[in-house]
Amino acid sequence: MTDASPRVVAMAICALVFTLLGIAYLVVGLAGGPEAFRYLGPAFLAGGIVLGAFALPARMKARAAVAAQTVRGRATVVSVELHPHVRVGSLLNVTLTVRLDGRTVTRRLNVSPLSGVQAGAEIDVVYDPADLQNFRVV
């Protein structure tokens, strides 16, 4: 259920780098730095904007394609195994076993401590019907 193709990610990273370099070169060039920066700054900035103009619609198209293949539903939590030494910001890392469409599947993912994920609870999930192992808590 990933929506980030390598091409779109590379284009977005290049757009960000070119835009930031363009701004930095332009500021340094206008502040009395090397004269070449006055020309490189706008060139990099324009390149970043153009790449961003291509990356944004490509990402939106990829997200729409993934969204068309996913289903939102309810799952019953069978078990939750907390990994206390692994955290991402305020999110907890757990191995979550759920009953989804009559099958029991397990996945390790990050959940909010406020999500109420505990054994026996009903939770909202988004999943790919072709790959039940690839679900996400909503």
- Provide the residue ranges of all domains of the chain, joining segments of one domain with +: 6-68, 71-137
Q: What's the rounded Cα separation, in Å, for the pair 17 and 50?
A: 12
Give the residue-averaged pLDDT of 83-99: 90
| Percent of residues in the chain assigned helix, strand, coil, to nearest 5 | 45, 35, 20
Q: How confident is the model at residue 59 (pLDDT cuts 50, 70, 90)?
A: confident
Long-range CB pairs of 41-47, under 8 A, 24+ apart, other chains included:
44/18, 44/19, 45/18, 45/19, 46/22, 47/18, 47/22
Q: pLDDT tens digits for 62-80?
A: 777 777 778 888 999 999 9
